[in-house]
Chains A and B, each alone.
Chain A
Amino acid sequence: MPGSLSTLKVLCAALALLFVVAHPAAAQLSFKPTAEAVQEDKLLNALKEGDKITGRVSIPDKMSSSLIQPAGRDWRDFQRSTLPIIGGVAIIGMLAVLAIFLMVRGRIRIEGGFSGKTILRFASFERFIHWLTASCFIILALSGLNISFGRMLILPLFGPEAFSTMSGYGKWAHNYLAFPFMFGLVAMFLIWIKDNIPGKLDLQWIKQGGGILANGKHPPAKRFNAGQKGIFWIVIIGGVLMSLSGWYLLFPYIPGDVTTLQIWTVIHAVIAMLFIAAMLAHIYIGSVGMEGAFDAMGTGEVDLNWAKEHHALWVEEEQAKGQAPSGTAPRGVPAE
């Protein structure tokens, strides 16, 4: 055993000696600083999608350590070609669908007519939060659409100076109103979440298509039917995505990385287009599309017949609590 160990030691020493002798010679032969220099071409070819050539900078702005990011060209293509198509199809498509729906179905009337009796649907605080969020949303949507489509549609009409002034104010409004919008979003979530948990009734409502096509067949619903729950969750999920992505755009120095910012802008823009399209449907059904619906967010008091037709179970609950007039007007829907 000791013999083999010493043999190993000798072998190691010999190997080490060989290395020391051989290595500098080999290094002198192979090491050419010029030949081993980084080649831009090779670096560019090695880049993965969305990747960039980065290095070290001696200035404090670490974002400037990105030397070349070819992905900027892809982002340009998205802004100039893809986004206008997504936005155009979503928004104009939704307007077309609503127009066709109005022509085919007409305004959804209260079948029993106005009863003259009303029931409180939204308290003043709920209406305040709704309109706070809604008015912020409209200004945010318009100033946002101006960023995406203004150059194409408004700039030729207004001229560069007036359009820039308007867009500048639009940007400030967009940045400031984001905060009351986010507040409204949180408040709406807290006050309406309890009535928006999906349940079995919603499946039935969806199966019957919300009673939207056939007159006089309203599926029963509690305070919010499946369609309204859908709008609630679109607003909450869409609003959270808009807030999160918008936060990074408002404070672009947080991520300190241009690729991350590019991804957030794409999310912000795509969700915005879909969100606006969904809200157009919400605005339609809450105003032109359905008789008696606007009162819910207008005065807060809806007609008892409207409430019974669309929210039969909710009316029963309210009547049981003694908070609603017990109407004698004919029911739109049997309880079963």
Chain B
Amino acid sequence: MARVKFLCDADRCIECNACVTACKNEHEVPWGINRRRVVTINDGKPGERSVSMACMHCTDAPCAAVCPVSCFYTTADGVVLHSKDLCIGCGYCFYACPFGAPQYPKVGNFGSRGKMDKCTYCAGGPEADNTPAEYAKYGANRLAEGKLPICAEMCSTKSLLAGDGAIIAEIYKERVMKRGYGSGMWGWKTAYSDSPTG
């Protein structure tokens, strides 16, 4: 099976935030929680770039390593998912995550953390595919329907790519070759120990 990944071509991202909005709508993500966000580096300066970032579904994921109740698992496609039934909302995954992906509703005591929510690569959770229970906890399961994540599917500049890691890396390399520049495969070095230029 393919090892699926995200790749944001920052030289194409126009910071329209449509990926953020589409994600929130697709999964009915509650207020205060963003599974995906667009961060603008060097804002207002020459060479400004925007990067759309969510869970990168790391190889040897730090969140899974530090979880005190071991609620994470990696699917055959390399998607890192978690069980909200097991999660206790301790916040450890947030401390360990290099990309700030884990988010928490403020429903714990004194407004502290509730059960963690993060990008599922539109692949749901441990429940049976596309059941109401799965949708309520994790949102839509597009992968089970043979579709790619909504954020990448509807990206207007095709900046955000999702799919087989080898294929999207090849597409990115071709782009860099053709246009002669590229600011890097953001997060790949940290998430997959890949060289950002390679």
Residues of A within 8 A of B (CB): 31, 33-41, 43-44, 53-61, 63-70, 72-73, 75-76, 79-80, 146-148, 150-151, 155, 160-161, 163-164, 167-168, 170-172, 175-176, 249-253, 258, 261-262, 265
Specify the chain B residue showing the minimal Cβ separation from A66.
B100
Of B97, B179, B180, the contact of A72 (CB 8 Å cutoff): B97
Please determine whether A155 and B51 come into contact, CB atoms closer than 8 angstroms. no
Instruction: Tell me how far the C-beta of B73 lies from the nearest C-beta in chain A, rounded to whole angstroms.
Output: 11
Chain B: how many interface residues by the 8 Å CB criterion?
64
Please determine whether B113 and A164 come into contact, CB atoms closer than 8 angstroms. no
The 8 closest A-B pairs by CB, nearest first: A40-B184, A36-B47, A55-B39, A76-B62, A164-B86, A55-B41, A56-B43, A34-B181
Task: Supply 21 A–B pairs (Cβ within 8 Å), ascending by A.
Answer: A37-B183, A39-B184, A40-B185, A40-B187, A41-B197, A44-B189, A54-B39, A55-B42, A55-B51, A64-B37, A64-B100, A67-B100, A68-B53, A68-B187, A69-B99, A73-B62, A75-B66, A171-B89, A251-B110, A258-B94, A261-B94
Please determine whether B67 and A151 come into contact, CB atoms closer than 8 angstroms. yes
Docked complex Cα distance between A168 and B97 (Å)? 21
Instruction: Tell me how far the C-beta of A119 lies from the nearest C-beta in chain B, rounded to whole angstroms.
Output: 43
Interface centre among A36, A54, A76 (most CB of B within 10 A): A76
Docked complex Cα distance between A252 and B92 (Å)? 11
Instruction: Tell me how far the C-beta of A143 lies from the nearest C-beta in chain B, rounded to whole angstroms.
Output: 11
Interface centre among B34, B108, B190 (most CB of A within 10 A): B190
Other than A75-B96, A251-B111, give 20 A-B pairs with Cβ distance below 8 A: A44-B196, A58-B17, A58-B38, A59-B20, A60-B32, A68-B98, A68-B99, A75-B95, A76-B65, A150-B69, A151-B69, A160-B69, A164-B86, A164-B88, A167-B88, A171-B88, A171-B90, A250-B110, A252-B112, A265-B92
Please determine whether B92 and A69 come into contact, CB atoms closer than 8 angstroms. no
Chain A residues closer than 8 Å to B89, beta-carbon distance: 171
Chain B residues closer than 8 Å to A57, beta-carbon distance: 37-40
Of A56, A72, A160, the contact of B98 (CB 8 Å cutoff): A72
Residues of B within 8 A of A (CB): 10-11, 15, 17, 20, 32, 34, 37-43, 46-51, 53, 62, 65-71, 83, 85-92, 94-100, 106, 108-113, 179-181, 183-187, 189-190, 196-197
Docked complex Cα distance between A155 and B68 (Å)? 9
Please determine whether B41 and A67 come into contact, CB atoms closer than 8 angstroms. yes
Please determine whether A68 and B186 come into contact, CB atoms closer than 8 angstroms. yes
Docked complex Cα distance between A216 and B186 (Å)? 72
Specify the chain A residue showing the minimal Cβ separation from B70.
A151
Please determine whether A167 and B68 come into contact, CB atoms closer than 8 angstroms. yes
Please determine whether A146 and B68 come into contact, CB atoms closer than 8 angstroms. yes
* Number of A-B residue pairs having CB atoms within 8 Å of each other in the complex: 179
Please determine whether A69 and B86 come into contact, CB atoms closer than 8 angstroms. no
Of B95, B97, B108, B196, the contact of A265 (CB 8 Å cutoff): B95
Chain A residues closer than 8 Å to B69, beta-carbon distance: 150-151, 155, 160, 163-164, 167
Interface of B: prevailing SS: loop
Chain A residues closer than 8 Å to B49, beta-carbon distance: 37-38
Chain A residues closer than 8 Å to B48, beta-carbon distance: 38
Please determine whether B112 and A55 come into contact, CB atoms closer than 8 angstroms. no
Interface centre among A54, A63, A67, A258 (most CB of B within 10 A): A67
Please determine whether A33 and B47 come into contact, CB atoms closer than 8 angstroms. yes
Docked complex Cα distance between A265 and B66 (Å)? 13
Of B20, B32, B46, B112, the contact of A175 (CB 8 Å cutoff): B112
Chain A residues closer than 8 Å to B91, beta-carbon distance: 249, 252, 261
Docked complex Cα distance between A262 and B98 (Å)? 12
Docked complex Cα distance between A171 and B110 (Å)? 13
Chain B residues closer than 8 Å to A164, beta-carbon distance: 69, 71, 85-88
Chain B residues closer than 8 Å to A38, beta-carbon distance: 10, 41-42, 47-49, 183
Known interface pairs A41-B184, A80-B65; A160-B70 also in contact (CB < 8 Å): yes
Of B39, B88, B110, B181, the contact of A67 (CB 8 Å cutoff): B39
Docked complex Cα distance between A37 and B11 (Å)? 8
